[in-house]
């Protein structure tokens, strides 16, 4: 087992930055549960592993290239978790899949909070949706906090970043969007929904995209709160959409 070097730890830490993830088309995944899943289902996507000797032996990784041993301190230097994991891996992005416009698409316009994006990915996966199209100013889905909150669902989701305005203009379907003053969701026929646009946590859907919403829809409120969290709203919309 080769000990991890300071240079390699620096490189791993660098993958915390979107710029470096974009350049190298890879990202970091933390924790035994999710990495053992990838090792089983899709081992070719794993480019590099840093783990304790215990886990290297457990998963029989000792003679594999680009597997390095580190102690708790080494792992904590790379990890973004409060309790550093015993294993972390660098995984290649899968950019091979195209968006299929005949299937359901979630469109995200400017989601900023990594926890919200991760939860949206996990919820989409629960309801069997597989396509998310994000505006370029949406938080990077390969951010470690997003990966963590997605609980493994990111590996079952096709996520692209693009100019939303152009993308939507090329769609030939009704454009449903979550707004505060639209048709009540309970009155919307789920079969009519092909794509659903959700906006930023504070500002909602941006003015350029609002113009392209043909069907504004709303979750009716009955109390004092000014709005719903965007993750909660997404959960409710998807529940209605796939029922």
Q: How far apart are CA 153 and CA 172, in angstroms?
A: 29
Q: Which of 125, 159, 188, 195 binds its own copies (CB under 8 A)?
A: 125
Query: Binding to its own copies (CB under 8 A): which residues in 126-165?
Result: 126-130, 151-153, 156
Query: Binding to its own copies (CB under 8 A): which residues in 212-231?
Result: 219, 221-229, 231
Sign, Cα dihedral of 37, 148, 70, 6? positive
Q: Which residues of 165-192 are buried (b: 16+ CB within 10 A; e: fewer)?
A: eebbeeeeeebbbbbeebeebeebeeee
Query: Binding to its own copies (CB under 8 A): which residues in 7-46?
Result: none
Cα separations in angstroms, 115 against 118, 138, 140, 167: 5, 12, 11, 25
Q: Which two tokens stand for residue 177?
A: 């969007």
Q: How far apart are CA 226 and CA 163, in angstroms?
A: 30
Q: How far apart are CA 133 and CA 29, in angstroms?
A: 22
155/167 with CB nearer its own copies: 155
Please count the residues of this chain forming the interface with its own copies, following the rule CB under 8 A: 37
151/173 with CB nearer its own copies: 151
Give the range of 7-15, 70-78, 114-122, 170-178 binding its own copies by CB under 8 A: 114-122
Q: Which of 21, 107, 114, 119 binds its own copies (CB under 8 A)?
A: 119
Task: Determine if 6 is a binding residue for its own copies (CB under 8 A).
Answer: no
Longest dimension (CA), the chain: 61
125/140 with CB nearer its own copies: 125
Give the range of 52-60, 73-81, 88-96, 116-124 binding its own copies by CB under 8 A: 116-124
Residues in the chain: 243
The site for its own copies (CB under 8 A) is made up of 115, 119, 122-130, 151-153, 156, 185-186, 219, 221-229, 231-236, 239-240, 242-243
């Amino acid at each position: 087992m080769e000990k991890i070097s300071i240079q390699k730890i620096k490189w791993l830490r660098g993958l915390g930055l979107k710029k470096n993830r974009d350049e190298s088309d890879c990202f970091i995944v933390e924790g035994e549960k999710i990495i053992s899943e990838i090792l089983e289902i899709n081992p070719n996507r794993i480019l590099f592993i840093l783990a304790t000797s215990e886990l290297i032996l457990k998963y029989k990784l000792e003679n594999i290239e680009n597997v390095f041993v580190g102690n708790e301190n080494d792992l904590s230097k790379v990890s973004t978790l409060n309790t550093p994991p015993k294993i972390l891996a660098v995984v290649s992005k899968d950019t091979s899949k195209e968006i299929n416009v005949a299937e359901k698409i979630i469109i995200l316009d400017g989601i900023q909070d990594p926890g919200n994006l991760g939860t949206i990915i996990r919820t989409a996966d629960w309801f069997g949706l597989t396509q998310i199209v994000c505006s370029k100013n949406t938080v990077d889905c390969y951010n470690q906090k997003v990966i963590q909150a997605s609980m493994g669902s990111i590996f079952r989701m096709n996520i692209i970043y693009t100019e939303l305005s152009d993308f939507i203009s090329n769609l030939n379907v009704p454009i449903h969007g979550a707004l505060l003053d639209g048709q009540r969701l309970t009155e919307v026929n789920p079969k009519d929904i092909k794509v659903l646009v959700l906006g930023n946590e504070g500002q909602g859907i941006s003015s350029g995209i609002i113009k392209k919403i043909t069907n504004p829809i709303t979750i009716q409120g009955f109390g004092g709160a000014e709005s719903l969290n965007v993750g909660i709203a997404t959960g409710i919309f998807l529940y209605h959409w796939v029922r």
